[in-house]
Amino acid sequence: MRVDLAKEVRDQLGVPGKIRLDCSLAKPIAQPRTVSNHIGDNSYMLRDPSLVPLSHQHQHALSLCVRLERALQTGAADLVAWQLEVHQHYANEAQFHFSAEEKVLFPTARRFPELVALVEELNGEHERLREHFVHAGQGTMNQGELATFVQLLSGHIRNEERQLFEALQEQMQTGELKSLGDELARALEDAVQVCRLGTIEGKKTDLR
């Protein structure tokens, strides 16, 4: 089941390789850069190291989407438990991910006129997703809203990976991408700290 989950997440991202669900967000894995000529098709795309930390977080979010969608399809999903997990995902990672994109990635993308409309669409989706995350924290989501949330979040991630990230890799020079990666790493450091603290607290709990 775990292998099937990893494969489904990779297929949705369109990025090859094994998924590593860990906290190593500030240390992107160096990979060669290549761009698919057919964004959105079934061909695989390699991610520039500058964008790998965001892609890792996308993997985490898509894993949540795949598992939640499967649970909803059974018709017996524990809505309380799933809302708690959705809320925790936002508190531990997604809020920092959104902030890094809005403070660093989106302003960079707006430099390219052909990406402005896409960035505005993605930014608007952030606001809609935040509303769903608030509802999850309040425990007011029903099965229909959870299903809507899954579709919105998974579609949002695919658009960022297959359209925005690919376009930036085509448009930007190696040095520019390196600078972008450095800025993103700094912006994502809060998420790294939260992840590490969560791991430490978990270990303390295990020892009690």
**How far apart are alpha carbons 107 and 187 in whole angstroms?**
14
**How far apart are alpha carbons 46 and 58 in whole angstroms?**
14
Model confidence at 138, pLDDT cuts 50, 70, 90, reads: very high
Model confidence at 129, pLDDT cuts 50, 70, 90, reads: very high
> Can you say whether the dihedral through the CA atoms of 141, 9, 61, 149 is positive or negative?
negative
pLDDT over 90 percentage in the chain: 67
Q: Looking at residue 13, what is its pLDDT? A: 57
CATH of 2-207, one of 1.10.10, 1.20.1690, 1.20.120, 2.70.98: 1.20.120
The torsion of the CA quartet 184, 185, 188, 189, rounded to 10 degrees, works out to: -150
pLDDT in tens, 47-61: 999 999 999 999 999
Residue 32 has pLDDT above 60, yes or no: no
Q: Looking at residue 20, what is its pLDDT? A: 40
92's tokens = 């531990």
**How far apart are alpha carbons 10 and 57 in whole angstroms?**
13
Region label for 139, one of left (φ > 0), alpha (ψ between -120 and 50) or beta (otherwise): left
**How far apart are alpha carbons 71 and 131 in whole angstroms?**
22
DSSP assignment, residue 75?
Answer: T
Residue 67 CA from chain centroid, whole number = 15
Least trusted range by pLDDT, from 38-47, 80-89, 128-137, 158-167: 38-47
Task: Kindly report the length of the chain.
Answer: 208
pLDDT in tens, 86-113: 999 999 999 999 999 999 999 999 999 9
Q: Looking at residue 189, what is its pLDDT? A: 87
Q: Looking at residue 46, what is its pLDDT? A: 87
Residue range 7-24: average pLDDT? Answer: 47
pLDDT in tens, 145-201: 999 999 999 999 999 999 999 999 999 999 999 999 999 999 998 666 666 665 545
Least trusted range by pLDDT, from 1-10, 35-44, 163-172: 35-44
Q: Looking at residue 42, what is its pLDDT? A: 41
- Mean pLDDT for the chain overall: 81
Q: In sequence order, which residues have a C-beta less than 8 Å from that of residue 23 and are 6 or more positions away?
A: 192, 195, 196, 199
Entry pTM: 0.77
H-type alpha helices, 14-115:
52-74, 79-89, 95-100, 106-109
Q: In sequence order, which residues have a C-beta less than 8 Å from that of residue 122 and are 6 or more positions away?
A: 101, 106, 156, 159, 160, 164
Residue 182: its H or E element: helix 174-187
**How far apart are alpha carbons 109 and 127 in whole angstroms?**
18
**How far apart are alpha carbons 57 and 28 in whole angstroms?**
11
Q: Domain-by-domain residue ranges, the chain?
A: 2-207
Q: Are 137 and 87 in contact (CB under 8 A)?
A: yes
Q: Are 163 and 122 in contact (CB under 8 A)?
A: no
